[in-house]
Chains A and B, each alone.
Chain A
């Protein structure tokens, strides 16, 4: 079960604007991206996020898993999260 850690210093605004205080980089997340990042901040694993999102959105599991995996890969690429 893949779990990720999010630095405590990471700042995310209500609108999804994300600021990395260590590097000065900024990113803009859409509402779903922000929701996923918030779930990661709450300590949910990738599998738990899939379950949560399937309950909330009308989407098939395979597409969701693929999109989530892509999104997490991007978050890791930019050092926004780290695999535990």
Chain B
């Protein structure tokens, strides 16, 4: 079976592609070949051993869905892809729009609807949480620098300034807020989210929804080491049923279909969990889940293939991941092949 996976950017802001691939390759039931889809010829996942059988460059989401579909058709003609698993927030809307056309080519996907994607988007999360009695930090949407002036009327500094897809800065005063606003505007555009800052520890859940309101698995984790980019570089599975039940509630209310990452802050003042973000795909730390007993990407594949699956309800507490950086060596010929032709096949 050939499964195409995106998000091979295993950098210091890692995409979830490589960990999702590692999960799939643990399958004993299926003989899986991975087709890596990449945006940048230096995405490290391309060069990792025993990860992809072949890799193909695809156009950035800003090129539009038609360009993406044309490219996928060419790749499909060569590889006969059975399944595509997109793993990056910014490309999901494009893949969701192409679901029907991909199905016509015989390519399976397991994605939320555009409406489901919108409900959990960063600019609408507070509204969703408010409606469903889930605690979440308050926010305002900044559409121009004028809105930054109103921060002090609504919140006390520090506050968090967030991009619609990525990036978040904790800022302590007006000057820092303007600087963060400008950085995010240049990179990710509008809207920009200004969110109440909550003091406390960060907890995350990776979960899977079947699209009919059922959560088919979930693993909760606490970050043990956080980089200056806010990325978890080590984490440990924990046992707090409140996190799992909150995740179940979110999946039930949205009828979420696909993998998901829920990010919580446990308030240092009250001990209550606040939902700060829902990411519409598996996280970069997904490989911790099968290590703890829940191979959620593989479970999603089974659901995609129409198999009857039983929800996974337990996992090993105290399983730890420690991320590492590792220099991969290649040669100029290989790089030329990837950079000039946008594709490479690895010999097994």
Chain A 10-24, CB-CB to B under 8 Å as 1, else 0, gives 010000000101111
Q: How far is the CA of A23 from the CA of B236 in the complex (A)?
A: 9
A2 an interface residue at 8 Å Cβ cutoff?
A: no
Q: Return chain A residues, CB-CB under 8 Å to B222.
A: 23-25
B100 an interface residue at 8 Å Cβ cutoff?
A: no
Q: How far is the CA of A29 from the CA of B89 in the complex (A)?
A: 43
Q: How far is the CA of A58 from the CA of B74 in the complex (A)?
A: 81
**Size class of B's contact patch?**
10 to 19
Q: Return chain A residues, CB-CB under 8 Å to B238.
A: 21-24
Q: How far is the CA of A23 from the CA of B220 in the complex (A)?
A: 10
20 further contact pairs, Cβ within 8 A, besides A22-B239, A23-B240, A24-B236: A9-B239, A11-B318, A19-B318, A21-B238, A21-B239, A21-B317, A21-B318, A22-B238, A22-B240, A23-B201, A23-B222, A23-B238, A23-B266, A24-B221, A24-B222, A24-B224, A24-B235, A24-B237, A24-B238, A25-B222
Q: Return chain A residues, CB-CB under 8 Å to B237.
A: 24
Max chain B CB contacts within 10 Å: which of A11, A23, A24, A25?
A24
- A26: nearest chain-B partner, CB-CB: B236
CB distance from A43 to the nearest CB of B (A): 23
Q: Return chain A residues, CB-CB under 8 Å to B224.
A: 24
* Interface, chain A (partner B; CB < 8 A): 9, 11, 19, 21-25
- 23 residue pairs of the A-B complex, CB under 8 angstroms, read A9-B239, A11-B318, A19-B318, A21-B238, A21-B239, A21-B317, A21-B318, A22-B238, A22-B239, A22-B240, A23-B201, A23-B222, A23-B238, A23-B240, A23-B266, A24-B221, A24-B222, A24-B224, A24-B235, A24-B236, A24-B237, A24-B238, A25-B222
Q: How far is the CA of A10 from the CA of B236 in the complex (A)?
A: 15
Q: How far is the CA of A22 from the CA of B237 in the complex (A)?
A: 9
List the 8 shortest-distance A-B pairs measured between CB atoms, nearest first. A24-B222, A24-B238, A24-B236, A21-B239, A21-B317, A22-B240, A19-B318, A22-B239
Chain B 219-241, CB-CB to A under 8 Å as 1, else 0, gives 00110100000000001111110
Q: Return chain A residues, CB-CB under 8 Å to B318.
A: 11, 19, 21
CB distance from A71 to the nearest CB of B (A): 23
Q: Return chain B residues, CB-CB under 8 Å to A23.
A: 201, 222, 238, 240, 266
Q: Return chain A residues, CB-CB under 8 Å to B236.
A: 24
Q: How far is the CA of A23 from the CA of B224 in the complex (A)?
A: 10
Q: How far is the CA of A24 from the CA of B235 in the complex (A)?
A: 8
CB distance from B240 to the nearest CB of A (A): 5
Q: How far is the CA of A9 from the CA of B235 in the complex (A)?
A: 19
Q: Return chain B residues, CB-CB under 8 Å to A9.
A: 239
Max chain A CB contacts within 10 Å: which of B224, B235, B266, B317?
B317
Chain B 289-327, CB-CB to A under 8 Å as 1, else 0, gives 000000000000000000000000000011000000000
- A24: nearest chain-B partner, CB-CB: B222
CB distance from A23 to the nearest CB of B (A): 6
Q: How far is the CA of A22 from the CA of B244 in the complex (A)?
A: 12
Q: How far is the CA of A64 from the CA of B329 in the complex (A)?
A: 60
CB distance from A78 to the nearest CB of B (A): 12
CB distance from A41 to the nearest CB of B (A): 18
Q: How far is the CA of A25 from the CA of B224 in the complex (A)?
A: 8
Q: How far is the CA of A21 from the CA of B220 in the complex (A)?
A: 11
Q: How far is the CA of A23 from the CA of B243 in the complex (A)?
A: 11
Q: How far is the CA of A24 from the CA of B201 in the complex (A)?
A: 11
- B243: nearest chain-A partner, CB-CB: A22
CB distance from A79 to the nearest CB of B (A): 9
Q: How far is the CA of A6 from the CA of B81 in the complex (A)?
A: 54
Q: How far is the CA of A16 from the CA of B223 in the complex (A)?
A: 23
Q: How far is the CA of A11 from the CA of B238 in the complex (A)?
A: 12
- A20: nearest chain-B partner, CB-CB: B238
CB distance from A21 to the nearest CB of B (A): 4
CB distance from A24 to the nearest CB of B (A): 3
